[in-house]
Amino acid sequence: MARPPVCKLMDFGKFKYESALKAREARRNQQQTVIKEMKLRPKIDPHDYETKKGHVVRFLKAGDKVKVTIMFRGREQSRPELGYRLLRRLESEISDLGYVEAAPKQDGRNMIMVLAPHRATKAAATAAATAAKGPGRERDSGAEAPPADDAGPAGQSGE
């Protein structure tokens, strides 16, 4: 420590403002975790199951977490193993895209399992989203040019 201690005189208002800016920038750079939800029933039709599984696959490829909920009604509540088997089947079929973050557990009338994408999947999804945004801007600038061309022929017909 320096002798005598170093003291810096500052404008407190400016200090508060700069610290607020840093905090806002830090919040902006944080990544928001999105959790999508897919609801199923224990006695789901095979085609409906495939459709729901397709949605789960799409969510995982996009880099989002997926909360899979099995909804039990009436007598189905006495057979939770049906829901458990369905969740384990889904887990085995999407194991190449994601992993089970929260194991299946009974929560009242529902059984819940949370799936998360593998890190490589999430990185690829982020890269794809960034690449998709780049060309989109170029198309917007190209879309502005045709109305200018349309104005030319309209001006000629008015003469």
pLDDT tens-digit readout, 36-72: 999 999 999 999 999 999 999 999 998 899 999 999 9
Q: Write the pLDDT tens digit of every residue in 82-112.
A: 999 999 999 999 989 989 998 999 989 999 9
| Residue 142 resides in a domain | no
pLDDT at 28: 86
User: Contacts from 113-116 at CB under 8 Å and sequence distance 24+?
Assistant: 113/67, 113/68, 113/87, 114/35, 114/65, 114/66, 114/67, 114/68, 115/56, 115/60, 115/65, 115/66, 115/67, 115/68, 115/91, 116/65, 116/66
| Residue 75 resides in a domain | yes
| Residue 93 resides in a domain | yes
Q: State the pLDDT confidence band at 2, using cuts at 50, 70 and 90.
A: confident
Write the CATH number for 116.
3.30.110.10
| CA distances, 19 to each of 12, 14, 15, 27 (Å) | 11, 9, 6, 12
Say how far apart CA 55 and CA 89 lie, in whole Å: 15
| Residue 80 resides in a domain | yes
| Residue 153 resides in a domain | no
The residue ranking higher by pLDDT, 158 or 71, is: 71
| Residue 57 resides in a domain | yes
The residue ranking higher by pLDDT, 30 or 68, is: 68
| Residue 113 resides in a domain | yes
| Residue 100 resides in a domain | yes
Domain that holds residue 42: 35-121
For the chain, the domain total comes to 1
